[in-house]
Amino acid sequence: IVVLMPLFYLLTVQPSRGFLRSAGPRRDSLKIVGSIRFPVKVYVKLDHNSPRILCVTNHLRNSELIDPLFRWNGPGGYLSSENSSVQISPTGTLILRRFKSDLSGVYTCSLVYKLTAAQPDKKLIIKYLIYAYSDPQYYYELTVQYHAAPCNSFHNISFGKALLQILSKLVAELSCEVTLIKSECHHVKMQRGGLQNEMFFTFSVTCLDREKTNRLCQQSACDASHRLNKAKYLIERFFKQEVEVRRKSSEPLPEIYYIEGTLQMVWVDHCYPGYGMNAIRHPGCPECCVICSPGSYNPSNGIHCLQCDSSLIYGATKC
């Protein structure tokens, strides 16, 4: 199958979230055709093989070429099949194996050929821009407030540790993790009362990739986003029960208790440092975390590559 796209190449699509992938059961049959008018963009998932990248244009793909000579060059110079990460067929087709970040960049193929034996040699330079990408990572950010002991009390610290343990146990069977991002104690002036002490907690809730859980389960149940949503449900139920138990109890309020209605859970996408999302720059992979191009960087787990004129490499994490 030979496919020509005008400015980028779409690989396979994951129906649930629309991610574009170079990894799939048919990736070995995918073929990409080049152009002499513009670089063709190719997106290859980290640690997977690229599709078949042809040293030919759409105009020549069905032509008979006499004595063709192919020479591939990548970001590090001349490419040879002697390199374990590179496979080049006798007909000039390139496959990049177990693609890594540092393989991203400009690839060119020099094609020398004749259409008839009597004609002089013709030469074409075909250029590709090949980008590493990964699927976005995602987590829930959980914020919650508790009526607290005095802000200098050690009871607040021990309670925060106990709350983290409880939430962690709730989601452990889902191969999910809860991490305390920050906890702060503040004095809050109430509308119809004096000052009271409140603890502001922020947690992250993440789930491990299915491949890392080593559990036998149905594919839908193993999916990280499915398990993350189930973890959200369990945590919301926990705080709802906190309120219900307190309402039914005749005991006076404890010193530290959950403030009803303060629980907030927000879905957050993020990319690894050195990667970012940009649907305008990468319309062929709009929801992918694509490696940052020279002139940009991402120092953290954000979702965007930031401009940096002094950055000259792919995947920069600092300016």
pLDDT tens for each residue of 58-68: 888 878 888 89
For position 162, which CATH number holds?
3.30.70.360
Residue 216 located in a structural domain: no
What local confidence, expressed as pLDDT, does residue 20 receive? Answer: 34
Quick one: average pLDDT of 235-255?
A: 91
Residue 196 has pLDDT above 80, yes or no: yes
Local confidence band at 8 (pLDDT 50, 70, 90 cut-offs)? very low
Whether residue 245 sits in one domain with residue 147: yes
Q: Which two tokens stand for residue 18?
A: 């629309």
Quick one: average pLDDT of 3-15?
A: 32
Give me the domain span that covers residue 147.
137-207+223-269
Comparison of pLDDT for 270 and 16, the residue scoring more: 270
Residue 22 located in a structural domain: no
Whether residue 149 sits in one domain with residue 89: no
Whether residue 177 sits in one domain with residue 118: no
Comparison of pLDDT for 301 and 172, the residue scoring more: 172
Rounded distance between C-alpha atoms, residue 44 and residue 67, angstroms:
31
Asked whether 15 and 287 are in contact (CB, 8 A), the reply is no
Rounded distance between C-alpha atoms, residue 20 and residue 265, angstroms:
28
Q: What are phi and psi of 163, to 5 degrees?
A: -65, -40
Residue 168 located in a structural domain: yes
Amino acid found at 39: P
Quick one: average pLDDT of 181-203?
A: 88
Whether residue 312 sits in one domain with residue 236: no
Residue 281 located in a structural domain: yes
Question: Last residue of some domain: 252, 269, 286?
Answer: 269
**Domain count within the chain:** 3
Whether residue 75 sits in one domain with residue 179: no
Whether residue 143 sits in one domain with residue 121: no
Quick one: average pLDDT of 119-126?
A: 90
Residue 317 has pLDDT above 80, yes or no: yes
Q: Which two tokens stand for residue 139?
A: 């987590």
Question: Last residue of some domain: 109, 132, 155?
Answer: 132
Angle at 87 between CA 93 and CA 129, to 5 degrees: 65
